[in-house]
Structure 1
């Protein structure tokens, strides 16, 4: 793909980040990936909303159809499972208001390339999100800002019906990670990170892959795993060491950046947020304000 063609594709993809419309052509993917039946979708939303009011276990920031649908899609369209997820989501927000309340989301451009994405969303991978923690300087950026950045990526992304259906795949690159970095991850911070990445957030995690990691990190990861609830998410965690061929058995190189033997251009969180600010609209501001973020 040439430079001009690549630039044009990216601009179209950036504009599409503001899309809030369900594509009728994606109904088959919604059925395969989320067990969503157009004939019963409205009934499932009503059932979920009734559970919220009748059980009183949480107070969501919104209860409109579009908001509740993202929880149903994340839990195979089963209202009871979606309700449990919504309760965890609300509890997480209530317990960690410092991660989102009145946060100037654009300030997180300072995270630069620590988080990246590939704007090439496929049904088998969804949105690929990359964390490069070795680029993080703990002396300059507090660990809370890493969690804030990851949470923001997901909150904005999940506004798109397409990504609610496709879900996402996470790639954690441990190149350059040292014990100085690891000491920042207290058990409380580790639990926050795990909640954001799947336990308490309405996205169906397609896979979590760890590359360029040593046995020491893998051991620490399994220690933190004991702090989190038992969940099917753990079955989708894969360690690849320094073996790109192992990674390619799970993620088609067509979906990966060149540094991982792939073909795609990665986009830094910094650039993504700059483009979000460029193309955002009143609906986006309203969505962000509703879930507690500061807006212009």
Structure 2
């Protein structure tokens, strides 16, 4: 990825964006470092990938060749077929099964074609106000299995007048694109903690069966990320009403990955190690609370890369052939 320069911003706590010798931006949070892990897998992670993903040189070579063949036979799909790193981000979460990876790739770009407002000009800067208000945050820690940990504050920090549901969904898409880029996350996957503290009827009224289905379809059909768990915490009673909207659109596989913890921190820590979570969620990781605007600034270094990503996908001629009833292949 290329890095765009940006004016250094320093918070009132003295936390700021820095860059390493390779120009990679990072935020030092006490003893923790928040950055995008774009390096190739370490030797230890390669051993893990061999065991969990069957990632042998022979399997990788076969999967790359087969996926290129499938892409070449798909009308109007424009992606960097000769770039191994691009193909691997779809293959690794699928344990190098090229047919499965191709299905997800096709659904991913068909979704963008079918819903252009979620597939055109989606960059970190276009949704920086979502990150600025800390509705969406990424922890600098990872779970023992290498999973990224994302926090969504669907309650007190979410003001629908400032951050629309559409904007929030776009921010999720940006964040998942980032997760897809990190080799370590391609292997380890992601945990998502939905903090429902402060959820009110104002928030509930932002959702409809249509938007619930849209989100559920995208999560289940289009994202090339190994989802390890969706953890619902601090949910008030009205959350049951919100979940009732989503429930009809959730497949069995996704339902098994949803865990309802409420205020039971012990229950959450049985799924995510205490060493990875801040005290707010019952963990013992002493992670300073960094301003969301700093995270936005860090992502801005990759703005150009996202502009390039927006050029990938189906040509306009593909649009009439898309199934109007489903994003699935």
CA RMSD for the aligned pairs?
2.6
Aligned to 2:231, what secondary structure does the other structure show?
A: strand
- Which has a greater percent of helix? 1
Displacement of 1:40 in angstroms is 1.8
1:268/1:71 CA distance change after superposition, 3 Å? farther
How many Å separate the matches in 1 of 2:80 and 2:209? 30
Q: Given the alignment of the two structures, is residue 276 of structure 1 paired with residue 294 of structure 2, yes or no?
A: no
How many Å separate the matches in 2 of 1:18 and 1:247? 25
1:58/1:183 CA distance change after superposition, 3 Å? farther
Using the size of structure 1 for normalisation, the TM-score is: 0.84
Q: Given the alignment of the two structures, is residue 235 of structure 1 paired with residue 253 of structure 2, yes or no?
A: no
How many Å separate the matches in 2 of 1:161 and 1:29? 12
Using the size of structure 2 for normalisation, the TM-score is: 0.76
1:144 to 166, 169, 174: 166
Q: How does 1:1-296 map to 2 (within 5 A)?
A: 7=29, 9-10=31-32, 12-14=33-35, 17=36, 19-54=38-73, 56=74, 59-63=77-81, 64-111=83-130, 112-124=133-145, 126-134=147-155, 135-228=157-250, 230=251, 232-264=253-285, 265=287, 269-277=292-300, 280=301, 284=302, 287-292=305-310
Q: Which has the higher contact order (CA 8 A, sep 6+)?
A: 2
1:191/1:240 CA distance change after superposition, 3 Å? same
Displacement of 1:20 in angstroms is 4.3
Displacement of 1:95 in angstroms is 1.7
1:82/1:141 CA distance change after superposition, 3 Å? same
Unaligned residue ranges in structure 1 (runs of 5+): none
Aligned to 1:45, what secondary structure does the other structure show?
A: helix
How many Å separate the matches in 1 of 2:290 and 2:220? 22
- Residues 37-61 of structure 1, C-alpha deviation per residue, up to 9 Å, x if partnerless? 233212111112212223x277253
Whether the aligned pair in 2 keeps the contact of 1:116 and 1:268 (CA below 8 Å) is no
- Residues 158-210 of structure 1, C-alpha deviation per residue, up to 9 Å, x if partnerless? 21111111111001011111121111112232233334444311100011110
Unaligned residue ranges in structure 2 (runs of 5+): 1-13, 16-26, 312-329
Range with greater deviation from structure 2 (163-172 or 123-132) = 123-132
Displacement of 1:77 in angstroms is 1.7
Whether the aligned pair in 2 keeps the contact of 1:126 and 1:167 (CA below 8 Å) is yes
